[in-house]
Amino acid sequence: MIANLREGFVKGTAEERIALHKNNVKIDFGGTRSAFNPEVFFYPIVFTVVFATLIVSISSRIRYHYERATLGVIGTLVFLLLAKTVYDFVKSLRLKADLSMRVYYLLMFSFTCCLGWYLGSFIYDAQMFPFYSYEELKVYHEIDPKTQSGMRYTDGGVVYFAEGTTLKRDMNACLKNDHHYCVTPIVKCPFDDCSDFKSDTGSYDYFAVGKDCCGCPEGEFRCGAWNNPLAHGGLRLLGNEDLLYYRLAVKQWEAQFGLTSKTPLFFHWDLRPQKEAQFMDDLGYTYMIGFSLCFGVLQTMFAMLLDGMSVL
């Protein structure tokens, strides 16, 4: 066999290559007399496919509509694959065959599943879930905060306010609780005169919000596109852990200014809110592709390093 290995291209097992290295037998690859180990490329491909499949499926639209079922199916498949890997590892311990390769495969496959699940959840929570939610909600144009109650637009996700709408930044309020939760009313100022911003409905229902972008209690509101005079739209704040704090900030605003907000709606003030929502989807897919490519490259480099150390 040694003669055949020295002659050129070979595909010996991991244990055979380790045995030859221990006996100081130099293995050459093809005509250049150097060994080729297909596992150096095969295993990184397997791990990368599993990793990419996990982050894509966990952050998919199917999960948004059927979250429990989707996570249940993915979790079951991951469990079965890990169980098969553990079974092969225990079997190799009994047979004392390909032990080093099995240890590497078990550890790296477990790491791949954990990292893929974590990054898939990160992409879903940060980018894809908000985008899917905005797609489910409606887009409204020409909302007049002076004459139209917030009750009419509780299903709005992306909104554009009527011309002359601005932020009443000298009437902001904030709630301090580890972070500064800032709110300021969105009002319609006729003829750019905000001395007459009173709501015809008797309720102030539209608020621009932001976190850690105002001083408490007297600082100015500096959140989102606050300094862009062309901005007159917003992305609806979706239900999350911050919503309660913004509601409490509005309660504080009501007490501070003696005004009423019956159906407060919260928005991130933005120049192009619809494009901002679409950008979340684009960024999510960029993360998926980027993470998968980086993972594949790093896996290949790591496998080549271990192969050089005669571990694979």
Alpha-carbon distance 92 to 86, whole Å?
Answer: 10
**pLDDT, tens digit, for every residue of 206-225?**
999 999 998 777 778 899 99
Share of the chain above pLDDT 90, in %: 58
Alpha-carbon distance 306 to 39, whole Å?
Answer: 11
Q: Pick 31 or 45 by higher pLDDT.
A: 45
For 257, the 3-state DSSP assignment is helix
Is residue 23 over pLDDT 80? no
Alpha-carbon distance 185 to 261, whole Å?
Answer: 10
Using only the alpha carbons of the chain, give its radius of gyration: 29
Give the Cα-Cα-Cα angle 288, 224, 183 (nearest 5 degrees): 120
- For residue 298, the model assigns a pLDDT of 94
Within 10 angstroms of residue 43's Cβ, the number of other Cβ atoms is 21
Is residue 114 over pLDDT 70? yes
Q: Read off the DSSP letter of residue 221.
A: B
Which range is least confidently modeled, 95-109, 137-151, 221-235?
A: 95-109
Mean pLDDT of the chain: 84
Which range is least confidently modeled, 17-21, 107-111, 124-128, 250-254?
A: 17-21
Specify burial of residue 134 (Cβ count, 10 A radius: 0-12, 13-18, 19+). buried
Alpha-carbon distance 235 to 268, whole Å?
Answer: 5
Alpha-carbon distance 243 to 223, whole Å?
Answer: 16
Is residue 19 over pLDDT 60? no
- For residue 37, the model assigns a pLDDT of 66
Please enumerate in sequence order all residues whose Cβ is within 8 A of that of 279, keeping only pairs 6 or more positions apart, or say none. Answer: none
Helix, strand, coil shares, percent, the chain, to 5: 55, 15, 30
What are the domain boundaries of the chain? 1-36, 41-135+284-308, 137-271
Alpha-carbon distance 107 to 101, whole Å?
Answer: 10
Across 145-165, average pLDDT: 92
Q: Give the pLDDT band (50/70/90) at residue 14.
A: low
Please enumerate in sequence order all residues whose Cβ is within 8 A of that of 89, keeping only pairs 6 or more positions apart, or say none. Answer: 102, 103, 105, 106
- Element housing 299 (H / E): helix 273-308
**pLDDT, tens digit, for every residue of 167-204?**
988 889 999 888 899 999 999 886 666 777 788 888 99
**Cβ–Cβ < 8 Å for 225, 271:** yes
- For residue 5, the model assigns a pLDDT of 38
Q: Give the pLDDT band (50/70/90) at residue 141.
A: very high
Alpha-carbon distance 61 to 285, whole Å?
Answer: 12
Q: Give the pLDDT band (50/70/90) at residue 293.
A: very high
**pLDDT, tens digit, for every residue of 35-75?**
556 777 888 999 999 999 999 999 999 999 999 999 999 99
Instruction: Tell me the two tokens of residue 218.
Output: 């007297």
